[in-house]
């Protein structure tokens, strides 16, 4: 087995594991909402699980390269220059899907769950547009919605400090209230999807390189059967 085949096999199994993790993470807020509210289109944890970053970006778009990488390993039916080239070509789709997953996750982490941003927690308030992804502002990306004592709008608060500002404390949310649970779920899910997207992108890029290298330099020949 050459280094091309060994690394391709490693990439294939790694992408398969990340693919499954991405799909499961994306399904968590959908499942929790269905169990708690019994209405899948009302009171979602976030708008962004409906963009399916884990199911489409980290899942379906990584499936072709994962399948080809696993098939191109030692003694596989695609263990040849053509198979290595196809694994490299299909990995481009994986990188695009991983980038999509990363961008949606960053946007979700920047804005926080719907319970922190809207009085009516409904998908009717969600804007499904790629234009939102290009308007990520670094200023609000400080996770204050997660670290503050509460992320609810301060309009009705009377606890003010000496400067007339709303007094807030910094802590990790617990699971004592619905708001805290939603914040924990939102942060955990999209941080996980962010990491999955980054890792998938790295494995995809490495397979592009190693696939091209295997296509140019060749792979080990399969053993002939003794008749």
Question: Helix or strand or coil: residue 150?
Answer: coil
pLDDT attached to residue 220: 58
- Output the pTM of the full model: 0.79
pLDDT attached to residue 198: 97
- Angle (CA) 208-109-50 rounded to 5° is 75
pLDDT attached to residue 110: 83
**Region for residue 159 given its phi and psi (left: phi exceeds 0; alpha: psi -120 to 50; beta: otherwise):** beta
**Whole-number Cα distances in Å, 36 to 23, 107, 133, 226:** 20, 25, 29, 62
pLDDT attached to residue 64: 94
**Region for residue 128 given its phi and psi (left: phi exceeds 0; alpha: psi -120 to 50; beta: otherwise):** beta
Say how far apart CA 205 and CA 103 lie, in whole Å: 17
- 169-210 pLDDT per residue, tens: 545 555 567 778 788 888 999 999 999 999 999 999 999 998
Q: Profile the chain (227 residues) by mean pLDDT over runs of 10 residues.
A: 72 95 90 62 70 94 91 65 85 96 89 71 55 56 72 47 43 65 87 97 94 75 41
pLDDT attached to residue 111: 80
Task: Measure CA 131 to chain center.
Answer: 19
């Amino acid at each position: 087995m050459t280094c091309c085949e060994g690394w391709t096999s490693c990439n294939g199994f790694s992408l398969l594991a990340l693919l499954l993790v991405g799909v499961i993470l994306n399904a968590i807020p959908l499942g929790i909402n269905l169990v708690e509210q019994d209405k899948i289109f009302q009171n979602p944890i976030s708008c962004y699980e409906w963009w399916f970053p884990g199911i489409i970006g980290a899942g379906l778009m990584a499936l072709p390269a994962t399948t080809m990488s696993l098939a191109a390993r030692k003694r596989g039916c695609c263990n040849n220059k053509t198979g290595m080239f196809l694994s490299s070509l299909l990995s481009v789709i994986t990188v695009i899907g991983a980038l999509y997953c990363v961008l949606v996750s960053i946007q979700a982490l920047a804005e926080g769950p719907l319970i922190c941003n809207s009085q009516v927690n409904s998908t009717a308030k969600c804007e499904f547009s790629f234009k939102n992804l290009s308007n990520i502002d670094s200023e609000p990306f400080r996770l204050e919605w997660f670290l503050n004592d509460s992320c609810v709008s301060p309009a009705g608060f009377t606890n003010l400090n000496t400067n007339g500002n709303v007094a807030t404390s910094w802590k990790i949310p617990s699971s004592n209230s619905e708001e805290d649970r939603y914040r924990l779920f939102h942060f955990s899910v999209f941080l996980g999807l962010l990491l999955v997207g980054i890792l998938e992108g790295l494995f995809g890029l490495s397979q592009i390189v190693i696939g091209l290298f295997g296509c140019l330099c060749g792979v080990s020949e399969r053993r002939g059967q003794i008749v």
